[in-house]
Amino acid sequence: MTLIPPRVERGQTIGVVAPAGPIKPPRLAAGLARLGDAFRIRLAPSLETWERAAGTPSYLAAPDEQRVAELMALLADPDVRAVVLARGGYGLMRLLPALDPDVLRRDPKPIVGFSDATALLAWAHHAGVRGIHGPMIGQLADLSVREVGDLIAMLGEPVARGVMPWRLAAQVGQGVIRGPLVGANLTMISMLAGTRWPVPVAGAIALVEEVGEKPYELDRYLTQLILTGVLPTSAAWVLGDLVRCTDPHPPAGEADPSDAALRVFVDRLGAAGIPFTYGAPVGHGTRNEPVPFGAAAELDLDTGTLAILDAAVS
């Protein structure tokens, strides 16, 4: 059974932590400013001091032990009613074995993130607690007022979003598909396959985005998911933004077409017999709509619409 966290009331505290890559102070400050006075903010200690332990790799915000301790402290704090990641990057996979799911189960609270945070959303799902696939603090400054408002509303209002106001492109397949909506990063779906915390795409409508991967790398991840049997278990895929998924030096020597990344998905999803559509405003660009992770959803391939039938909070 999935535990739906209680709503975060205006003026309550949200925790902000960087359990993956580092974030620059101006970027953090700009994102926090976009939340206005909706919530009190509790920053993890490393985001307060900006001190990095000697020898910490440049791609990690802090040593593993420190990132685990800061994340778990926020999850255990009864005053903190949600945890929003400062940014993604890389590093959450390293932490999963050290995280205690009982802490989250005892006091369910929504975790908000995407990209590398897919790993943490999957961990929370396997712990039995619903998270939110949505923008992190470092991205908020790039988003519209409406999208920031949507995140605040999703945390604070126990209301299903219903039919999303998205303009989805041409569909492959027909009819209505129902299943849990699982927002995820393609790389993380591939990397977590076979672990204790796989992204739960079986029977799901997978809402997938990616950034900075070349077309052949996208092909590699999707083919791996076909060979492991993960991809064919999906009910359908909805593609979000594929940001900077180009190859400046294609092996053939000729420039790739502008839709080369999309063509990879068309080929690989078609090979697996998976219905899909694309154009969801989700990803690493200047749009990133929040969605509740694992909420019941309905994809109508005849009309090109997606309806979210469950709320993120209770």
> What positions carry a catalytic annotation?
115, 209, 284
Amino acid code (one letter) for 176 = V
> Rounded to an integer, what distance in angstroms lies between the CA atom of residue 179 and that of residue 282?
19
Residue whose token pair is 């908020």: 140
- For residue 92, give both structure tokens: 């959450």
H or E element that contains 112: strand 111-113
| CB-facing half-sphere around the CA of 249: CA atoms within 13 A | 0
Cα distances from 177 to residues 146, 201, 234, in angstroms, run 28, 14, 11
Beta pairing, strands 236-243 & 305-308:
unpaired
DSSP 279-305: --S-SSSS----EETTEEEEEETTTTE
H or E element that contains 306: strand 305-308
> Rounded to an integer, what distance in angstroms lies between the CA atom of residue 155 and that of residue 122?
19
Give the other-Cβ count within 10 Å of 257's Cβ.
11
Three-class secondary structure of residue 260 per DSSP: helix
- Residues 6 or more apart whose CB falls under 8 angstroms from that of 58 comprise 22
- For residue 258, give both structure tokens: 């502008």
> Rounded to an integer, what distance in angstroms lies between the CA atom of residue 141 and that of residue 228?
39
The dihedral region occupied by 288, where left means phi > 0, alpha psi between -120 and 50, and beta the remainder, is beta
